[in-house]
């Protein structure tokens, strides 16, 4: 009986929502779009783990690094793969040279035939880039004729830049990572990396932080158009429905909006999925097929959203006694009480507290406690904010007219204002905490490269051991290069095979050697000794007159060239520069003519380049030269630190999410702002009639949004910093506040306010037109 009554009332509400005329439809559409946006974001987020998995699978399927595995013998089924990665305007271009050695040579994923020398297959994005004007410079570097595109299975994302080019006469050596011989593509030892507990915890927090505001947003969306709905419900009471029935009918209306929202959300999701497949955020792109949420999560969303809509409405209606003759908002309602609102965040802290100091050494964090704690803290924001807004707004005095209009309105309905801001507050609180956590933990996941960008801006490692001299000249001629030095290095052993002592030898002209050590004086033909990390025997081995072999052979390795050489007389002592271009300079430094001519091919060559920062695309020109000199050359820009890539992707995810959430909430703020303006059309026109300036009304709209958002951001920062501090304690990292991220996030919130206000100005001006006074 009870169930029957319930379903009858809910059904009636649904009918009301559908049959409510134009107004009803507009309201339901607003709700549906709001809920739909939320649902779409939920679906996208729930699909995110899948994205990571698929990307990982794709990545290992095309894996061609052997990590020191023995080189298989050349055969019918082998292929030589040369690494020719490059960079284009800070974007990585994955490049591979392919040389099939037999008819059954394996093809990499996504490629259906081998390109011959001078040909290549490129990813669609690279193909497009090369064809465009912007890609002209890159075209010089990759001149091969494009004979096809890499298919989806061979790419991580739609916007990835990658190519396979044909090559000839490549040589695979045992310890080379430049050229490998493969019988098949794919990670030979697919390992699941043991997940770092701190990283897992951070991932969990990211998800909670992203999803909570979405939930808050959905809760707000089902209340769109609440005031008008309340009036309609009063009319229902007049014809005899009791207050419980009325509540259920209201819930039914919300249910209709939520159900339509599910449909809209699915559409948004499908659109978003396609869009996500064609855009690139922070150098990451996807394929739409990655974004397939797991059915269980989809089911959960499909059930939870309508259920939440009904629940939220029933809860909200508690504060509203729908009386037959109009709506009495339990006026002068009991002031919001603080104590239970404080309980939520305190409980959250309580759940996190036991894990303080765990770090990564004490095993995994309790996932439930982490999720629960973070969730309670964030939900605590939504509980505290209405109290805070009410308490502060009640104390605000009247200033200018615009301020007075805004403050009075807020005083009358601080709850509505707080509800709209809740989403932003939760998002910012979570993001602040995470940024703080990231900034704190960053040190642990960022390697110091020891590079000093002041000394050199780029480094080119040549694979070809013979062309260094010609190459160095080419670099010196390259556009935008201020200075370049070529430094070659190799080993000098005391025996032909398995030497006991091996001294490092470094070859370069006087300018180059001066970049490494303080030399007393220098002419071509000079040899210097720089004491490094050496024992007595090694020191003795570097004395003049000692015999030895350049490029000695080692047990189990490939045979070296074993070129005999004698340390010449007149070796002079020199000391390493503290800021040497290479770290650990030590051993013998040779000017070019001091080296036996045939020994040059045994050395590794590096070219260090300082570019003129004022020359546009100087580094691209350098990379072009590098590719011209040696396609297998490695080129990179010097930076001081390098981040763990896992860490980077997590941070990227947070940024993408935070941007989406803020945009979403901005949209909902705009919707409710416009709705409010529309309801006040008549009033606005009459205010204009007696001469109110547009500026005054515009400012009052701004204040009305800005005041609650300022409070929300303040609270969010406080909670965010607290949460961040606790999370840092949990990871046993010293607590430091990352003020720049706090400021930039609160700044982003402020930007949302401004944008919303700006966007609501044109409709405001339109509503303020005197035509609004016309009644006929």
Partner 1 sequence: MTPPPGSLLAAEDLRKAYGPTVALDGAAFSIHPGEVVAVMGPSGSGKSTLLHCLAGIVPPDSGSITYDGRELAGMTDAARSALRRSEFGFVFQFGQLVPELTCVENVALPLRLNGTSRKEAERAALGWMERLEVDDLKGKRPGEVSGGQGQRVAVARALVTGPRVVFADEPTGALDSLNGERVMELLTDAARSANAAVVLVTHEARVAAYSDREIVVRDGKSRDMERAI
Which residues sit at the interface with partner 1, rule CB under 8 A? 398, 401, 404-405, 408-409, 411-412, 682-683, 686-693, 696, 770-771, 773-776
Q: Which is nearer to partner 1, 413 or 644 (CB)?
A: 413
Q: Give the nearest distance from C-beta 382 to partner 1 in angstroms.
A: 25
Q: Which is nearer to partner 1, 477 or 682 (CB)?
A: 682
Q: Which is nearer to partner 1, 90 or 775 (CB)?
A: 775
The alpha-helical segments, DSSP class H, found in 353-467 are 367-395, 401-412, 414-445
Q: Using an 8 Å Cβ cutoff, are 529 and 573 in contact?
A: yes
Q: Give the nearest distance from C-beta 233 to partner 1 in angstroms.
A: 18
Q: Give the nearest distance from C-beta 390 to partner 1 in angstroms.
A: 15
Q: Give the nearest distance from C-beta 330 to partner 1 in angstroms.
A: 15
Q: Give the nearest distance from C-beta 234 to partner 1 in angstroms.
A: 14
Q: Which is nearer to partner 1, 193 or 776 (CB)?
A: 776
Q: Give the nearest distance from C-beta 759 to partner 1 in angstroms.
A: 22
The alpha-helical segments, DSSP class H, found in 132-196 are 136-141
Q: State the Cα–Cα distance between residues 765 and 701, nearest whole angstrom.
A: 12
Q: Which residue has 């910012």 as its token pair?
A: 428
Give every CB contact of residue 13 below 8 A, 6+ residues apart in sequence: 248, 249, 250, 251, 252, 253, 254, 255, 256
Burial 373-412 (b: 16+ CB within 10 A, else e): bbbbbbbbbbbbbbbbbbebbeebeeeeebbebbbebbee
Q: Which is nearer to partner 1, 649 or 692 (CB)?
A: 692
Q: Which two tokens stand for residue 41?
A: 């974001």
Q: Which is nearer to partner 1, 404 or 649 (CB)?
A: 404
Q: How far is the CA of 446 from the CAs of 132, 202, 435, 440, 609, in angstroms?
A: 36, 16, 15, 11, 25
Q: Give the nearest distance from C-beta 247 to partner 1 in angstroms.
A: 24
CA nearest 505: which of 455, 570, 551, 558?
551
Q: Which is nearer to partner 1, 447 or 695 (CB)?
A: 695
Backbone angles phi, psi at 147, to 5 degrees: -110, 0
Q: Which is nearer to partner 1, 460 or 688 (CB)?
A: 688
CA nearest 263: which of 293, 234, 301, 232?
301
Q: Which residue has 């607290």 as its token pair?
A: 722
Q: Give the nearest distance from C-beta 700 to partner 1 in angstroms.
A: 10
Q: Which is nearer to partner 1, 409 or 529 (CB)?
A: 409
Q: State the Cα–Cα distance between residues 483 and 487, nearest whole angstrom.
A: 13
Q: Which is nearer to partner 1, 649 or 696 (CB)?
A: 696
CA nearest 95: which of 769, 633, 760?
633
Q: State the Cα–Cα distance between residues 606 and 515, nearest whole angstrom.
A: 13
The distance of Cα 103 from the centroid of its chain, to the nearest Å, equals 42
Q: At what angle do helices 681-689 and 694-730 cross, to 10 degrees?
A: 130
Q: Which is nearer to partner 1, 231 or 559 (CB)?
A: 231
Q: How far is the CA of 717 from the CAs of 414, 664, 720, in angstroms?
A: 20, 20, 5
Q: Give the nearest distance from C-beta 326 to partner 1 in angstroms.
A: 10
Q: State the Cα–Cα distance between residues 362 and 359, nearest whole angstrom.
A: 6
Q: Give the nearest distance from C-beta 351 to partner 1 in angstroms.
A: 41
Give every CB contact of residue 328 below 8 A, 6+ residues apart in sequence: 320, 321
Q: Which is nearer to partner 1, 622 or 707 (CB)?
A: 707
Q: Which is nearer to partner 1, 477 or 693 (CB)?
A: 693
Q: State the Cα–Cα distance between residues 366 and 376, nearest whole angstrom.
A: 15
Q: How far is the CA of 256 from the CAs of 222, 249, 262, 307, in angstroms?
A: 10, 11, 10, 11
Q: At what angle do helices 226-238 and 243-278 cross, to 10 degrees?
A: 150
Q: Give the nearest distance from C-beta 386 to partner 1 in angstroms.
A: 18
Q: Which two tokens stand for residue 408?
A: 């009075």
Q: Give the nearest distance from C-beta 398 to partner 1 in angstroms.
A: 6
Q: Give the nearest distance from C-beta 406 to partner 1 in angstroms.
A: 9
């Amino acid at each position: 009986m009870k169930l029957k009554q319930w379903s009858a009332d809910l059904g009636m509400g649904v009918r009301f929502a559908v049959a409510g005329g134009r107004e009803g439809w507009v309201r339901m559409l607003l709700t549906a779009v709001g809920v739909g946006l939320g649902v779409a974001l939920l679906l996208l987020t729930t699909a995110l783990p899948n994205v990571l998995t698929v990307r990982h699978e794709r990545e290992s399927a095309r894996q061609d690094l052997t990590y020191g595995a023995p080189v298989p013998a050349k055969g019918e089924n082998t292929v030589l793969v040369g690494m020719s990665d490059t960079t284009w305007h800070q974007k990585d271009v994955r490049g591979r040279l392919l040389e099939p050695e037999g008819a059954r040579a394996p093809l990499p994923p996504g490629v259906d035939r081998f390109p011959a020398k001078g040909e290549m297959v490129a990813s669609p994005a690279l193909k497009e880039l090369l064809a465009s004007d912007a890609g002209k410079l890159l075209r010089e570097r990759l001149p091969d004729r494009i004979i096809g595109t890499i298919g989806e299975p061979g790419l991580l994302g739609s916007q990835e830049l990658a190519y396979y080019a044909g090559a000839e006469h490549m040589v695979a050596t045992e310890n080379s990572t430049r050229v490998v011989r493969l019988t098949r593509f794919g990670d030979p030892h697919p390992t699941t990396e043991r997940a770092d507990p701190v990283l897992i915890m951070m991932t969990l927090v990211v998800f909670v932080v992203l999803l909570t505001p979405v939930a808050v947003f959905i809760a707000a969306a089902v209340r769109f158009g609440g005031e008008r709905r309340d009036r309609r419900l009063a009319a229902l009471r007049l014809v005899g429905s009791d207050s419980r029935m009325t509540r259920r009918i209201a819930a039914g209306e919300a249910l209709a909006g939520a159900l339509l929202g599910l449909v809209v959300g699915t559409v948004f999701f499908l659109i978003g999925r396609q869009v996500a497949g064609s855009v690139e955020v922070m150098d990451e792109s996807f394929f739409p097929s990655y974004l397939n949420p797991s059915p269980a999560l989809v089911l959960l969303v499909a059930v939870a959203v309508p259920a939440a809509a009904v629940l939220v409405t029933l809860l909200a209606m508690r504060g509203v006694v729908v009386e037959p003759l109009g709506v009495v908002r339990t006026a002068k309602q009991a002031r919001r009480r603080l104590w239970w609102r404080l309980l939520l965040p305190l409980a959250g802290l309580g759940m996190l507290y036991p894990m303080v100091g765990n770090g990564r050494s004490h095993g995994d964090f309790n996932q439930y406690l982490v999720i629960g704690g973070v969730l309670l803290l964030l939900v605590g924001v939504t509980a505290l904010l209405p109290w805070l807004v009410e308490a502060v707004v009640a104390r605000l005095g009247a200033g200018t007219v615009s301020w007075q209009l805004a403050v009075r309105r807020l005083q009358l309905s601080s709850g509505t204002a707080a509800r709209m801001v809740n989403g932003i507050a939760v998002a910012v609180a979570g993001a602040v905490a995470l940024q703080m956590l990231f900034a704190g933990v960053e040190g642990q996941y960022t390697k110091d490269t020891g590079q000093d960008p002041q000394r050199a801006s780029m480094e080119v490692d040549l694979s070809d051991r013979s062309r260094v001299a010609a190459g160095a000249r080419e670099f010196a001629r390259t556009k935008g290069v201020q200075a370049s030095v070529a430094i070659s290095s190799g080993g000098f052993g005391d025996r032909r095979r398995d030497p006991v002592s091996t001294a490092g030898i470094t070859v370069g002209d006087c300018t180059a050697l001066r970049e490494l050590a303080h030399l007393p004086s220098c002419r071509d033909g000079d040899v210097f000794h720089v004491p490094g990390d050496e024992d007595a025997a090694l020191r003795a081995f570097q004395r003049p007159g000692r015999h030895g072999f350049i490029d000695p052979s080692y047990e189990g390795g490939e045979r070296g060239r074993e070129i005999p050489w004698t340390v010449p007389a007149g070796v002079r002592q020199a000391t390493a520069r503290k800021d040497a271009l290479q770290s650990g300079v030590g051993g013998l430094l040779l000017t070019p003519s001091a080296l036996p001519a045939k020994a040059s091919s045994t050395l590794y060559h590096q070219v260090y380049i300082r570019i003129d920062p004022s020359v546009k695309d100087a580094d691209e020109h350098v990379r072009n030269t590098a590719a011209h000199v040696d396609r297998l050359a490695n080129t990179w820009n010097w930076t001081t630190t390098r981040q763990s890539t896992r860490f980077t992707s997590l941070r990227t995810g947070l940024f993408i999410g935070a941007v989406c959430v803020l945009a979403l909430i901005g949209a909902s703020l705009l919707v409710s702002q416009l709705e409010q303006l529309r309801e006040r059309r008549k009033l606005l026109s009459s205010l204009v009639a007696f001469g109110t300036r547009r500026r005054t009304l515009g400012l009052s709209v701004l204040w009305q949004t800005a005041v609650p958002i300022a409070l929300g951001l303040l609270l969010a920062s406080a909670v965010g910093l607290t949460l961040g501090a606790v999370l840092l304690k949990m990871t046993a990292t010293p607590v430091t506040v990352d003020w720049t991220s706090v400021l930039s996030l609160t700044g982003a919130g402020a930007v949302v306010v401004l944008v919303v206000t700006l966007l609501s100005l044109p409709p405001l001006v339109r509503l303020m037109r005197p035509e609004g006074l016309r009644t006929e």
